[in-house]
Structure 1
Amino acid sequence: DDLRLDWDGRGRVLLKLGPRWAGQTCGLCGNYNANHGDDFLSGSGLVEASPQAFGQAWRINGDCESTHKHDTDPCATNPKRVRYAEETCAVIMSDVFSSCHFLVNPAPFQRFCRYDVCACGDGEQCLCSVLSAYGAACSAEGSF
């Protein structure tokens, strides 16, 4: 069980590595050094400011069209989705996940949820993905 790769069949991949891999990884998986402050370290040695910039920094095929055109909040460009996003993503901060809140900070997941639900053509599907990711993070920390 030194290396385990789980895929949910859609868009979520989880890589679990044993302790011998500490400090031996790079790229989108991070460097596995227990320092969350440098998780967005690019190949050039710079710490990127956002997940989008970090992902773009690790692109290996320059011929592929970038899906990241700008840093505009999708809720600003899709105002009709804002209320749905805010109401449905609030479940992350609710009692449903309260036993996990002290183990896994829910705030980033709620921000990602709002962003994804506003950006996604099928907001419900994206909501399920974010809730599943938070649930998996909670489970990995022993909650649930």
Structure 2
Amino acid sequence: MTMKKLIMLALLLASVRLAGAEETKSFRLRSSSLPWQAMELPGVPKGVQQRVLHDQKDKKLISAIVKFPKGYREPRHYHTTCGHSLYILKGRLHSPEGDLTPGMFIYSAINERHGPFTAMEETELLFYTDGPFDFIVEDTNPVSK
């Protein structure tokens, strides 16, 4: 049996609250006015930053601009509670399926393994989850029993 390392991530910066971002009201903001904040993902290399655009706490959905520094490597992983969308704004991410460059869109479905991703240059992307976010790193060294 293959052991998988399960890492649950509450919500990306669940404590972040944007003024006027209640789900019952429309709002607009300039993303460049928001500070970059560290995105902490247990078991994943540090270095990712984000600007949270909208945090729908009651539905556990999030929209953010995410920045990977050049050379950052995100391991192969999957999600059991959500799918997520990425739209590349700038930079270049290398993946096993080919490079992702500005204007490209990718949707990763629930339970679908994806990655690893390597930032070939500083990369910014629009990130959106369609459910509560979890992050499960695929075990690269399975242990048989």
Q: Which entry has the higher C-alpha Rg, 1 or 2?
A: 1
Task: Answer whether TM exceeds 0.5 for this pair.
Answer: no
Instruction: State the structure with bigger RCO (CA 8 A, min sep 6), 1 or 2.
Output: 2
Bigger share in helix: 1
Question: TM-score scaled by structure 2?
Answer: 0.24
